[in-house]
Amino acid sequence: MGRIAFLFAGQGAQVPGMAGDVKDLPKVKKLFDLAESIQPGVVDKMLSGTQEELNRTLLTQPTMFLADLAYAYAKEEELGAPDCVCGFSVGEVPALCFAGVLSEEDAFRAIVRRAELMDAYTERVKGCMIAAVKLTADKVEALCDGVNTHPANYNGALQTVVACRAEAEEEFTAKVKEAGGRAMKLRVSGMFHCPELQPESQEFEKFLRTLTMNAPRMDVYANLTAQPYEGDFAATLAKQMCSPVRFTETVANMKARGVEEFVEVGPGKVLTGLVQRG
């Protein structure tokens, strides 16, 4: 029998009412009560907030953390523990929590701090995320040259997401179309996973070093390396903020180690769709 991996969804998958169908599970209720004690009102916003409210980074990240972890707990009850996990961008924090690296309290405080830093960054640097579809990664990388854009998420053979300055959005979109691709703006409030986030990444690392990090109970694949976490966990998680998400490579490495079933934990089926398309 093949190995099973849980995939923790990332920013952009948020929808009103997410996790409402699992909120009454005892383990989930305990998690939500903890989150409320740290950030009052966050659960209500997750369950009944508008799409516009949930799209702001300051709220997206803590609510996605809660939804991902809630669905992971529900799936673990149904299927048993997975053999390994991977979180896409913000999903890496609940993945580390699920694997026992961070306690629920420390992980939630970490995601709140991450959201604060990245929300402040979106006020400092105006930008967006654009998915370039039907083009190879090397073609998209070439299109980024000289346009103030950065490859940010390697999602599949023919889908690469780019972090794009606001003033470069029109030019980059035009270049994608000219190259025979399709450009789709994502439902996020800024440009992420690019070198411009280095100051925020350094601040996040300082915060992470105040927390206790334990050995994982299962392999946690890092966005930064596409390999299981090892060495300096705080540095790896912090550098993820200003580095590309290597999802395609991660999935290939998981499959090479015997993973045959990918279970998405979080709202929607974006990640399993990417796995199927390759």
Task: Supply 57's token pair.
Answer: 């980074």
Catalytic residue among 89, 189, 201, 243: 89
Axis crossing angle, helix 233-240 with helix 198-208, rounded to the nearest 10: 150
What phi and psi values does residue 152 have, to the nearest 5 degrees? Answer: -120, -40
Going across the sheet that includes 84-87, the strands are: 219-221, 84-87, 3-8, 259-265
Q: Catalytic annotation on 150? A: no
Q: Which residue shows structure tokens 């709140």? A: 112
**Tell me, what's the pLDDT at 181?**
96
- Strand-pair category, 159-165 with 149-156: antiparallel
The overall longest dimension of the chain from CA atoms, in Å, is 53
Nearest to 263 by CA among 118, 104, 94, 68: 68
- The string of pLDDT tens digits covering residues 63-115 is 999 999 999 999 999 999 999 999 999 999 999 999 999 999 999 999 999 99
- Indicate yes or no: pTM above 0.75: yes
Q: Catalytic annotation on 193? A: yes
Q: Could you tell me if 89 and 15 are in contact, meaning their C-beta atoms sit under 8 angstroms apart? A: no
Catalytic residue among 150, 189, 193, 201: 193
Task: Give the amino acid at 250.
Answer: T
What phi and psi values does residue 164 have, to the nearest 5 degrees? Answer: -130, 130
Secondary structure (3-state) at 177 = helix
- The string of pLDDT tens digits covering residues 171-230 is 999 999 999 999 999 877 789 999 999 999 999 999 999 999 999 999 999 999 999 999
β-bridge mates for residue 132, sequence order: 160, 183
Structural domains of the chain, ranges and CATH numbers in brackets: 3-124+194-277 (3.40.366.10), 127-185 (3.30.70.250)
